[in-house]
Amino acid sequence: MRIIRYQTPEGTATYGWMLEDKVGEIQGNVFSEYRRREAKIPFKEVQVLAPCEPSKIVCVGRNYVEHARELGNETPKVPLIFFKPPSSIIPNGGTVILPPQSKQVEHEGELVMVIGKRARNVTAEQAKEFIFGYTIGNDVTARDLQKTDGQWTRAKGFDTFSPFGPWIDTDFDPSDAVVTCRVNGQMRQMASTRDMVFNVGTLIAYISSVMTLEPGDLIFTGTPAGVGELKNGDVVDVEIEGLGKLSNPVKV
């Protein structure tokens, strides 16, 4: 099932579910008890929001060998994790704003896991029970600031630097799906999720041994090789086979 969040005509945010190109409201808590109303609103008429509200966004660095290599790095022995702030979230169609502090903002198309149940010290074998579903993300990064700062908080944390959506798919199989990123229609990144150094189960086990994961929290699983620059006026599309497409314009 595909889950979205959208703005009602009355201006409140609500969860919805999709049946083909129609949306139905979800009443209750989407992560526990809820009821689905009839899907009768055309998808193209709803104002789509980011599909959940994470308390934290945990990201994994250098999780594809070719990407680690292109930036001159070794593949890490254990997952390399960092945060992006929830204030950096924008929905599908939202505009990525290039900040004046950076001269080199880059795209990173990624598969994103959405946590469904509170998770602490979960094993890789148990991980599946704690995954609500999957969505598509762009870990937008000010590459020059990432290099000069050492710490990645500023480079990864600007407002608008975490587009994700357009929906969460609760049935998606992450074992072998092609992730692509195009800028103005030109292919920049392409790899299968089977090329990940650490798979989704290993990542949940590792991260939940450090911190409690809450329903709605996001895990960005790392980007394939081919990261590159975004310029004013570009449109960046991240597409994942069987999951959908996240599209965002870029402006100064």
Q: What residues make contact with Zn ion under the rule CB under 5 A?
A: 108, 139, 223
Instruction: Kindly tell me which of 71 and 187 has the beta carbon lying closer to Zn ion.
Output: 71
Residue labelled with tokens 């959940």: 52
Give the list of residues 6+ apart from residue 211 with CB closer than 8 angstroms, or none: 56, 58
Residue whose CB is less far from Zn ion, 92 or 162: 162
Cβ-based nearer residue to Zn ion, 30 or 90: 90
**Identity of the residue numbered 223:** T
Which of residues 25 and 108 has its CB atom nearest to Zn ion in the complex?
108
DSSP assignments along 121-179, one per residue: S--TTTGGGGEEEEEEEE--EEHHHHHHHSS-HHHHHSTT-EEEEEEEETT---SS-EE
Other C-beta atoms closer than 10 Å to the C-beta of 193 total 24
Min dist CB 220 to Zn ion, Å, is: 6
Nearer to Zn ion, 139 or 234 (CB): 139
Q: How far is the CB of 213 from Zn ion (least distance, A)?
A: 18
How far is Cα 167 from Cα 43, in angstroms, rounded to an integer? Answer: 11
Chain residue whose CB lies nearest Zn ion:
139
CB of 63 to Zn ion, least distance (A): 8
Residue 69, both tokens: 């290599």
Pick between residue 143 and residue 182 the one whose CB is nearest to Zn ion: 143
Tell me the closest approach of the beta carbon of residue 237 to Zn ion, in angstroms.
Answer: 17
* Angle, CA 65 vertex, CA 89 and CA 106 arms, to 5°: 35
Please, what is the minimum distance in Å from the beta carbon of residue 108 to Zn ion?
A: 4
Fill in the DSSP letter of residue 193.
G
Min dist. Cβ of residue 113 to Zn ion (A): 13
